Amino acid sequence: MSGTAVGSRPVGGLSPWRAIVGFGLVSLAADMVYEGARSITGPLLGQLGASAFLVGVVTGIGEAAALVLRLVFGRAADRSHRYWPMTIVGYALTAVSVPLLAITPLVGGSGLVVACALILVERTGKAVRSPAKSTLLAHVATGVGLGKAFGVHKALDQTGSFTGPLIVAGLVALTGAIWPAMAVLALPGAAAIAILAWMRLRVGEPADHLTVHAAAGTARSATLPRAFWLFAASSGAATAGLVTFGVISFHLARERVVPLPAIPVVYAAGMAIEAIAALATGFGYDRFHGRVLYVLPVFVAAVPWLAFTDRVVLALLGVLVWGAANGIQDSTVKALVADLVPSGLRATAYGVFAAIQGAGAIAGGALAGALYARSVPLLGWIIAVVEALAVGLYIATLHTSTETPGREREFIR
């Protein structure tokens, strides 16, 4: 078996930083696909006949599927040690399902049902690959700095998240329709699979010690520390308050805050801020540790007060704050999870953590979809209360260091 080294030693045929960049390039290409589609999901579903409530429920369930199902696939990855096959299958589901959205306006009355199903398949692909990929990334990053590694990876990831929506925006403006843009996204999807196959050959299998610890960790699955559970609950509350861009884009289109072709551009701006926030908090995490995450609930609570207005500047600011919150949630948060649990339990921990986030996502998606049409101020106040709870749980996380292994304590405080 090819080994995966840590620190500055090579990982298969690549150094750790080259392996990190390689994973980042895979995510870059894949994010062009699914973030390009997500930038226009709300208007697409709206054109197919969906209401604001349905958009909120479908996008909320989609986010929940991408998170909750990681509970299953994370445990499966640790038990089977099939980190690479699960990563590849997950990316393949995304590469296939998104371009198929191009057929939805062409199949009559069933188009809305097909579109909803494809959105859920794409999000399921995210669930299949994420725990395994994050485990591989955390392992090759050991000794380099988890915060920096996840931050750099997320920045490359967000480069795709930025360019994908711009491609969609250009094609929507050029053609006056959404479906051609979905078809073109097949190209970066194919590129993602090709890069991943190359990475698989160069990086090889995880090191023997990861496999050994994974097997041992499966038998000790109940030993996830209390600080991990508190942090998962805090992050779940933060996720419940973070409204989906599907609902935001529905608002931008319905209220004509910006023209339809500009919505993916707005989304791209959010993705750019997401990359900056991931890098800033990732590097900050390696220096200041868990304290950098206090900013997350503050950002989440501000989003509805800004994004759901009819004033262009405030709505755009809301999208930028939304992007910053997403950047922290999908990068620096993962670094702390990796520090809180034994290495052999990381995929399992990522799955459990994401399942708790997913429960928050589906509740939050339905809440935003239901209250958006009734009372935006009420939605804002409810989210503020939820984020206050998230802060309280996070304070408890940082004060539960006595139940955390010695190495992890220094990363929390």
- Taken as a whole, the chain contains a residue count of 413
3-state helix, strand, coil in the chain (%, to 5): 85, 0, 15
Q: Tell me, what's the pLDDT at 194?
A: 92
Whether 329 is in a domain gets the answer yes
Whether 4 is in a domain gets the answer no
Question: Would you state the structure tokens that stand for residue 17, as one six-digit string?
Answer: 């930083």
Q: What is the CATH number of the domain that holds 114?
A: 1.20.1250.20
CA 238 to chain centre: 13
CA 18 to chain centre: 22
Whether 6 is in a domain gets the answer no
Residue 4 has phi, psi (to 5 degrees) of: -110, 115
Helix (H, G, I), strand (E, B) or coil at 4: strand
Whether 7 is in a domain gets the answer no
Strand partners, 11: 4, 14
Q: How far apart are CA 270 and CA 115, in angstroms?
A: 24
* DSSP per-residue letters across 243-303: --HHHHHHHHHHTTSS-GGGHHHHHHHHHHHHHHHHHHHHHHHHHHGGGGGGHHHHHHHHH
Q: What's the longest Cα–Cα distance across the chain?
A: 60
Question: Would you state the structure tokens that stand for residue 263, as one six-digit string?
Answer: 């919505």
Q: What pTM value is reported for the model?
A: 0.70
Q: Tell me, what's the pLDDT at 2?
A: 38
Helix (H, G, I), strand (E, B) or coil at 341: coil
Contacts of 296 (CB under 8 A, 6+ apart): 238, 325, 328, 329, 333, 390
* DSSP per-residue letters across 91-157: HHHHHHHTGGGGGGGGSGGGHHHHHHHHHHHHHHHHHHHHHHHHHHHHHHTTTT-HHHHHHHHHHHH
Question: Would you state the structure tokens that stand for residue 330, as one six-digit string?
Answer: 């999908």
CB 101 within 8 A of CB 94: no
Whether 283 is in a domain gets the answer yes
CB 60 within 8 A of CB 244: yes
Domain of residue 75: give its range. Answer: 16-412
Q: How far apart are CA 16 and CA 294, in angstroms?
A: 29
Q: Tell me, what's the pLDDT at 99?
A: 93
Instruction: Answer positive or negative: Cα dihedral of 372, 111, 168, 18.
Output: positive
Q: For residue 35, which of 153, 163, 151, 172 has the smallest C-alpha distance?
A: 163
Q: Tell me, what's the pLDDT at 405?
A: 45
Question: Would you state the structure tokens that stand for residue 324, as one six-digit string?
Answer: 């910053």
Q: For residue 378, which of 389, 388, 367 has the smallest C-alpha distance?
A: 367
Whether 3 is in a domain gets the answer no
Q: How far apart are CA 120 and CA 57, in angstroms?
A: 11
What does DSSP assign to residue 402? G
Q: Tell me, what's the pLDDT at 302?
A: 92
Q: Tell me, what's the pLDDT at 204?
A: 65
Whether 354 is in a domain gets the answer yes
Helix (H, G, I), strand (E, B) or coil at 86: helix
* Number of domains within the chain: 1
Residue 358 has phi, psi (to 5 degrees) of: -65, -40
Whether 9 is in a domain gets the answer no
Helix (H, G, I), strand (E, B) or coil at 13: coil
75-103 in b/e form (b: 16+ CB < 10 A) is bbbbeebebbebbbebbbbbbbbbbbbbe
Helix (H, G, I), strand (E, B) or coil at 170: helix
CB 124 within 8 A of CB 93: yes
What does DSSP assign to residue 195? H
* Look-up of token digits 């599907």: 246
List the chain residues with pLDDT less than 70. 1-14, 142-143, 204-222, 401-413
Q: Tell me, what's the pLDDT at 387?
A: 92
